[in-house]
Amino acid sequence: FNPPADGIGLDGLQRGWAHIERATRGGSDREARFNMMGASMQGAMAFQKGLGCVHSLSHSLGGVDPRLHHGTLNAMFLPAVVSFNASAESIQKENRLNRMAQVMGLASGSDIPEAIRDMNARLGLPTGLAAMGVQRGQFDQIIVGALADHCHKTNPRIATAGEYAEMLGDSL
């Protein structure tokens, strides 16, 4: 429970979502880059809420295969983790996904995972973990690391090994 972090996070999401494409198109758009800097700072301030399954999975996979970029891994895992967290009591009680969707210009919180996948594609990111060379045979090792990661317990819904396997499969 951290209302200031929630507000900062929502504003950062709106700022980042509105400017990331312009900021990554060559780098000469100073307004877009300035807003991405602000969104990045706001994201760091919202870390007080915890980083959850996205980072548990990214930390673990990055340890298994250090050539993989942490930020790209976060982008690959985010749609599956958003879907997983949708049923969390705190997410539903506080209408978080619909509030996020509103600042992203989406009709509903259920649209967020696909919107993130679409944004990833527009940004030229890999289509999934398989495109990054990750294989199902690595899942057990990734899951062990994710369960032990310090971010695991900060997720709004605590994942089991089986649920991590589902998120990995959805991100493949």
Question: pLDDT tens digits for 108-142?
Answer: 999 999 999 999 999 999 999 999 999 999 999 99
- Measured CA to CA, the distance from residue 144 to residue 135 in angstroms comes to 16
Question: Is 1 a residue whose pLDDT tops 90?
Answer: no
pLDDT at 158: 98
- Measured CA to CA, the distance from residue 156 to residue 153 in angstroms comes to 8
- Measured CA to CA, the distance from residue 75 to residue 119 in angstroms comes to 10
pLDDT at 14: 99
pLDDT at 48: 85
Contact indicator for 163, 77 with CB cutoff of 8 Å: no
Tell me the whole-structure pTM to 2 decimals. 0.95
Question: Is 2 a residue whose pLDDT tops 90?
Answer: no
Distance from chain centroid for Cα 57: 10
Q: Which amino acid is at 143?
A: I
pLDDT at 66: 96
- DSSP result, 72-86: HHHHHHHHHHHHHHT
Give the DSSP H or E segment for 156: none
Q: Is 110 helix (H, G, I), strand (E, B) or coil?
A: helix
User: What are the residue boundaries of the structural domains of the chain, listed by start?
Assistant: 1-49, 51-171
**Alpha helix positions (H), the chain:** 3-23, 30-46, 52-64, 70-85, 89-93, 96-104, 112-122, 139-148, 161-171
Question: Is 75 a residue whose pLDDT tops 90?
Answer: yes
The CATH fold assigned to 51-171 is Dehydroquinate synthase-like, alpha domain (1.20.1090)
pLDDT at 142: 99
